[in-house]
């Protein structure tokens, strides 16, 4: 179920079957305000309301990089907010673009120190299967 979109850049969806938010990124060229609204407002509000346990970031077809400001914000604000609100798993589907892959690796490594279990998978189907096994 789609809950939010930044046209041409991001679609945020809710998977009730596994209690997970799915961020499908196409382009990491967003502002900090756009990022905050998509993740900490739209996404996290839905996760809290639905008893979310996982956040899946599908960057498999994404291009670009997050600004350093957004990457820092993920570590200082986003991941702590996830753990405070019951998110246990941060699941990434890595991009094919080498530069985007570096961005994902950089911000993802901040998940563990913030109490999230970092899982890397090859596809959305693999992420869903992982979550079904945890239930």
Q: Which residues of 40-76 are buried (b: 16+ CB within 10 A; e: fewer)?
A: eebbbebbeebebbbbbbbbbebbbbbbeebbebbbe
What is the sign of the dihedral through the CA atoms of 38, 3, 102 and 61?
Answer: negative
Q: How many domains does the chain have?
A: 1
pLDDT in tens, 108-132: 999 989 999 999 999 999 999 999 9
Pairing of strands 117-121, 89-93: parallel
CATH number at residue 32: 3.30.750.24
Q: What is the pLDDT of residue 135?
A: 80
Q: Which residues contact 88 (CB under 8 A, 6 or more apart)?
A: 53, 54, 116, 117
The pLDDT tens digits for 9-60 are 999 999 999 999 999 999 999 999 999 999 999 999 999 999 999 999 999 9
Determine the pLDDT at residue 33.
98
Question: For the chain, what is the mean pLDDT?
Answer: 95
Six-digit token string for 121: 């998978």
84 CB contacts (<8 Å, ≥6 apart)?
none
The pLDDT score that the predictor gives to residue 36 is 97
pTM for this model (two decimals):
0.95
State pLDDT tens for residues 68-81: 999 999 999 999 99
Domain hosting 46: range is 2-134
Tell me the C-alpha distance between 90 and 94, whole Å.
12
Question: pLDDT tens-digit profile of 76-103?
Answer: 999 999 999 999 999 999 888 888 888 8
Q: What is the pLDDT of residue 99?
A: 86
Check residue 100 and give its pLDDT: 87
Among residues 22, 34, 13, the alpha carbon closest in space to that of 131 is found at: 22
Residues 6+ apart with CB under 8 A from 60: 93, 94, 95, 96, 123
Rounded to whole angstroms, the Cα distance separating 58 from 96 reads: 11
């Amino acid at each position: 179920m789609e809950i939010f979109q930044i046209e041409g850049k991001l679609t945020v969806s809710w998977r009730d079957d596994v209690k997970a938010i799915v961020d499908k990124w196409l382009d990491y060229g967003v502002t900090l305000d756009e990022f905050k609204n998509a993740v900490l407002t739209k996404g996290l509000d839905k996760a809290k309301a639905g008893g979310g346990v996982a956040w899946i970031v599908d960057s498999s077809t994404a291009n670009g990089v997050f600004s350093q400001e957004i990457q820092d914000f993920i570590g200082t604000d986003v991941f702590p907010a996830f753990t405070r609100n019951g998110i246990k798993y941060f699941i990434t589907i890595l991009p094919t673009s080498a530069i985007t892959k570096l961005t994902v690796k950089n911000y993802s490594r901040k998940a563990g120190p913030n109490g999230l279990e970092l899982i890397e998978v090859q596809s959305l189907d693999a992420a869903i299967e992982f979550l079904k096994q945890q239930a």
